Amino acid sequence: AQSVTQLDSQVPVFEEAPVELRCNYSSSVSVYLFWYVQYPNQGLQLLLKYLSGSTLVKGINGFEAEFNKSQTSFHLRKPSVHISDTAEYFCAVMWNYGQNFVFGPGTRLSVLP
Amino acid sequence: DAGVIQSPRHEVTEMGQEVTLRCKPISGHDYLFWYRQTMMRGLELLIYFNNNVPIDDSGMPEDRFSAKMPNASFSTLKIQPSEPRDSAVYFCASSPQSQPQHFGDGTRLSIL
């Protein structure tokens, strides 16, 4: 069965520093990959997605992610974070032509002044 | 664009009572999803609809839970009877594609 792992449950980082949130998946079939952000007391927002093509995907709010098939990873990065980026970030994987979709456990990013 | 609208935002009720959560998806979206979020289990897909038809309800915990989508602009998730372990944040999401894209702000449900 396919699964998603986010190894870091919490990531504290200082404002204007770079950040990388890790996501690994296990799958024996082709997958599509997603990152979502959840701000406090709100629903999730889609940040970016990888369906095919270029392995470097750019999303909203200055985030980007790189699909690495050999390492089965889809890490999220931002070169300089802001206080407003404090939120929970979820990686997700879809397979079987959209029939199956699962979220990872989430990583709480805390941006410190 | 109003986005996905959920009501109520908060619900506190006693165990045994019937609870109804409501969702208005974004117009034109063919897919509607119901998720439950808890600290212990994270985000769980309960059920999703395509063109008002339930496609996968394997995540519905038990017979106490039911969901309907009588038309393209409205869906309900009902719990009867409710139990304390049902306490969670319930999210509705809609999308033009088979992965959830637009989430509502959720209903925070507390069963006493």
Say if the Cβ atoms of B105 and A99 lie within 8 Å. Answer: no
Structure tokens at A17: 């520093």
At residue A98, does pLDDT exceed 80?
no
Per-residue pLDDT band for A106 (boundaries 50, 70, 90) equals very high
pLDDT at A27: 79
* Helix, strand and coil in chain A, % to nearest 5: 5, 55, 40
Residue B41 Cα, gap to closest chain A Cα (Å): 8
For A5-10, the CB contacts below 8 A with 24+ separation are A5/A104, A5/A105, A6/A89, A6/A90, A6/A91, A6/A104, A6/A105, A6/A106, A6/A107, A8/A107, A9/A105, A9/A106, A9/A107, A9/A108, A10/A107, A10/A108, A10/A110
By C-alpha distance, the chain B residue nearest A43 is B105
Alpha-carbon span A108 to B35, nearest angstrom = 19
pLDDT at B1: 63
Cα–Cα distances in angstroms (integers) from residue B35 to residues A38, A44, A111, in the given order: 14, 11, 28
Q: Does A60 touch chain B (CB under 8 A)?
A: no
Residue where the block lists tokens 């970030």: A89
Alpha-carbon span A47 to A34, nearest angstrom = 8
pLDDT at B61: 86
Of A14 and A3, which is predicted with more confidence? A14
Per-residue pLDDT band for A97 (boundaries 50, 70, 90) equals confident
Sign of CA dihedral A18, A112, B90, B59: positive
Residue B8 Cα, gap to closest chain A Cα (Å): 14
Show which of residues 14-53 on chain B sit within 8 Å of chain A, judged by CB atoms. Answer: 42-43, 45
In a mutational test of the B interface, the residue from A101, A102, A107 whose CB has the highest number of chain B CBs within 10 Å is A101
Contact A3, A105 (CB under 8 A): no
At residue A96, does pLDDT exceed 80?
no
Side-chain-side CA neighbours of residue A71 (13 Å):
10
Q: Does B66 touch chain A (CB under 8 A)?
A: no
Q: Which residues contact B36 (CB under 8 A, 6 or more apart)?
A: B43, B44, B46, B88, B89, B90, B91
Residues of A with CB below 8 A from B102's CB? 46
Mean pLDDT of A80-97: 93
By C-alpha distance, the chain B residue nearest A92 is B99
By C-alpha distance, the chain B residue nearest A47 is B101
